[in-house]
């Protein structure tokens, strides 16, 4: 018999046992499918978390007031502190530094009222936080220094107050009953895990200091956002910022009256968490692939035992050892190859469904099906099929026809 006839015969025999063939293939499908989709989901999660952290702004340091024990006469952060950080000599790795005041306020317009978080800051805030303005423009340096009553709306606030995100520039809203003129509307940042940035309004720092947010000392600010020149210079920038602030605040050694938190800390924590997650998911998928492989072995074992008489008969009718061996090898290969192919398709389907579910709940999440995981899973399943198939096929081909025919 030639290979093609063997293929036809194995198809006939597999089709003759549809339920069993189907269940065996199902084992491989689940194995291959889960490995691929789990890895895809893991990689998608990593990408999604990383991008949501990076969407806050890249290479950021957060400087806030505070400190440990032993702080004597702590000084608040001021706008001058922020400006002092922009120093090409003492802080070459700092690209930008903006001071912010944060508060919550009642915001109303055209009869609609809502509560929003108010960020009072300077013009560089838009680049430091990587914000995008979809209409109008961000606060300008002139507006900030002139204590202008200008406001930039987050897209969520625009939706809540006006039911639209367009055509709002020039309109007036009231913040704590003080009228502000809208100069721009921000683009939506998406879910962005750490507090929605879409529900904020941004006003000039000086305006807030004089009219809206009272902090006792009128030069005081809540936080300084420092942007390093590159990802590699974040720790150098942190060092420089620490030194400058220590000098300015004349703190005692080991008793800083401020805290610095880097975005890199957040990112590396998150990456290590999602990396572990991917490994865990892949491991679970891998276990099901092994179980699927054992399923093939199991079925081929049963198949050879159950068809001992058939093997004897085929030998009696003139089958050579190779004919028998090829027949069983062909059957296990067909099972594992079909299972692998369907598994890849199932994984693609699962990833799509997961992406859709994530999208419908407002999270941008794209599972990434890597070619490496597809190859890994399908090659492994084919190897499992061939290996265990080969063992059973040899067992079958070495059966004595007399013994096999007598087998009950």
Partner 1 sequence: MSEDGYVIEADNLTKYFEMGDIEVQALRGVSFKIKRGEVVSIMGPSGSGKSTLMNILGCLDVPTSGEYILDGESVSHLSDDQLSDIRNRKVGFVFQSFNLLPRISALQNVILPLRYAGTNKLRERATKALTEVGLGDRMNHRPNELSGGQQQRVAIARALITEPAIIMADEPTGNLDSRSGEEIMELLLNLNKESGTTLIIVTHSPDVAAMTGRVIRLRDGLLEGAL
Sketch the per residue contact string, 251 through 290, with partner 1: x for CB under 8 A, - otherwise: ----------------------------------------
Cβ proximity of 76 and 220 under 8 Å? yes
Binding residues for partner 1 restricted to 346-405, rule: CB under 8 A: 400-402, 405
Among 80, 287, 316, 353, binds partner 1 (CB under 8 A): 316
Backbone angles phi, psi at 222, to 5 degrees: -85, -40
Phi-psi region of 253 (alpha: psi -120 to 50; beta: other; left: phi over 0): beta
- Residue 332 CB, nearest approach to partner 1 (Å): 17
Among 310, 335, 340, 389, binds partner 1 (CB under 8 A): 310
Q: Does 248 bind partner 1 (CB under 8 A)?
A: no
Phi-psi region of 59 (alpha: psi -120 to 50; beta: other; left: phi over 0): left
State the Cα–Cα distance between residues 199 and 136, nearest whole angstrom.
18
State the Cα–Cα distance between residues 339 and 29, nearest whole angstrom.
5
- Residue 408 CB, nearest approach to partner 1 (Å): 10
Q: Does 331 bind partner 1 (CB under 8 A)?
A: no
State the Cα–Cα distance between residues 227 and 111, nearest whole angstrom.
39
Q: Judged by CB under 8 A, which stretch of 8-16, 66-74, 85-93, 182-190 contacts partner 1?
A: 8-16
The number of C-alpha atoms within 13 Å of 109 and in the hemisphere containing its C-beta is 24
Q: Does 319 bind partner 1 (CB under 8 A)?
A: yes
Q: Judged by CB under 8 A, which stretch of 40-48, 86-94, 314-322, 384-392 contacts partner 1?
A: 314-322
Q: Does 305 bind partner 1 (CB under 8 A)?
A: no
Nearest to 126 by CA among 183, 49, 52: 183
Bridge partner list, 105:
116
- Residue 344 CB, nearest approach to partner 1 (Å): 29
Between 6 and 129, CB nearer to partner 1: 6
Between 13 and 65, CB nearer to partner 1: 13
Q: Which residues have a Cβ under 8 Å from the Cβ of 345 and sit 6 or more positions away?
A: none
State the Cα–Cα distance between residues 323 and 314, nearest whole angstrom.
9
Q: Judged by CB under 8 A, which stretch of 102-110, 141-149, 316-324, 382-390 contacts partner 1?
A: 316-324
Between 13 and 155, CB nearer to partner 1: 13
- Residue 303 CB, nearest approach to partner 1 (Å): 12
Q: Does 323 bind partner 1 (CB under 8 A)?
A: yes
Among 147, 174, 321, 352, binds partner 1 (CB under 8 A): 321
Q: Within 10 A of 263 (CB to CB), how many other CB atoms are there?
A: 21
Q: Judged by CB under 8 A, which stretch of 131-139, 200-208, 315-323, 334-342 contacts partner 1?
A: 315-323
State the Cα–Cα distance between residues 174 and 180, nearest whole angstrom.
6
The structure tokens listed for 88 are: 């090409």
Binding residues for partner 1 restricted to 12-41, rule: CB under 8 A: 12-13, 16-17
Between 294 and 405, CB nearer to partner 1: 405
Among 134, 320, 356, 375, binds partner 1 (CB under 8 A): 320
Q: Does 314 bind partner 1 (CB under 8 A)?
A: yes
Cβ proximity of 332 and 386 under 8 Å? yes
State the Cα–Cα distance between residues 355 and 232, nearest whole angstrom.
33
Judged on CB neighbours under 10 Å (0-12, 13-18, 19+), 339 is buried
Contact residues toward partner 1 (CB under 8 A) are 1, 5, 9, 12-13, 16-17, 309-310, 313-321, 323, 400-402, 405
């Amino acid at each position: 018999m030639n290979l093609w006839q063997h293929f036809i015969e194995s198809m006939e025999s597999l089709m003759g046992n549809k339920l069993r063939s189907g269940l065996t293939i199902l084992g491989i499908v689940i194995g291959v499918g889960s490995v691929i989709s789990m890895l895809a989901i893991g990689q998608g999660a990593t990408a999604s978390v990383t991008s949501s952290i990076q969407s806050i702004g890249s290479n950021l340091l957060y400087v806030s007031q505070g400190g440990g024990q032993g702080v004597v006469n702590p000084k608040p952060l001021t706008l001058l502190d922020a400006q002092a950080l922009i120093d090409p000599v003492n802080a070459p790795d700092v690209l930008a530094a903006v001071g912010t005041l944060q508060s919550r306020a009642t915001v109303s317009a055209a009869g609609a009222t809502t509560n929003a978080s108010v960020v009072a800051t300077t013009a560089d805030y838009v680049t430091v936080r990587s914000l995008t303005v979809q209409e109008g423009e961000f606060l300008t340096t002139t507006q900030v220094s002139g204590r202008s009553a200008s406001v930039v709306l987050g897209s969520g606030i625009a939706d809540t107050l006006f039911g639209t995100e367009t055509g709002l520039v020039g309109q007036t809203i009231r913040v704590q009953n003080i009228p502000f003129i809208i100069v721009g509307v921000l683009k939506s940042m998406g879910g962005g895990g750490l507090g929605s940035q879409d529900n904020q309004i941004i006003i000039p720092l000086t305006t807030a200091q004089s009219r809206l947010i009272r902090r006792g000392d009128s030069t005081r600010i809540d936080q300084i956002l420092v942007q390093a020149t590159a990802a590699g210079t974040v720790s150098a920038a942190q060092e420089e910022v620490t030194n400058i602030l220590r000098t300015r605040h004349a703190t005692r050694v080991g008793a800083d009256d401020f805290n610095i938190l880097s975005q890199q800390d957040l990112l590396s924590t998150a990456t290590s968490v999602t990396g572990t997650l991917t490994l865990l998911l892949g491991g679970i998928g891998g276990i099901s692939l092994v179980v699927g492989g054992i399923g093939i072995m199991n079925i081929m074992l049963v198949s050879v035992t159950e068809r001992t008489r058939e093997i004897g008969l085929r030998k009696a009718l003139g089958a050579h050892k190779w004919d028998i061996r090829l027949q069983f090898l062909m059957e296990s290969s067909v099972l594992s190859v079909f299972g692998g192919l369907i598994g890849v398709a199932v994984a693609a389907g699962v990833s799509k469904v997961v992406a859709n579910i994530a999208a419908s709940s407002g999270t941008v999440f794209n599972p990434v099906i890597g070619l490496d995981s597809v190859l890994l899973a399908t090659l492994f399943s084919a190897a499992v099929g061939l290996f265990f198939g080969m063992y059973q096929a040899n067992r079958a081909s070495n059966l004595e026809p007399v013994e096999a025919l007598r087998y009950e």
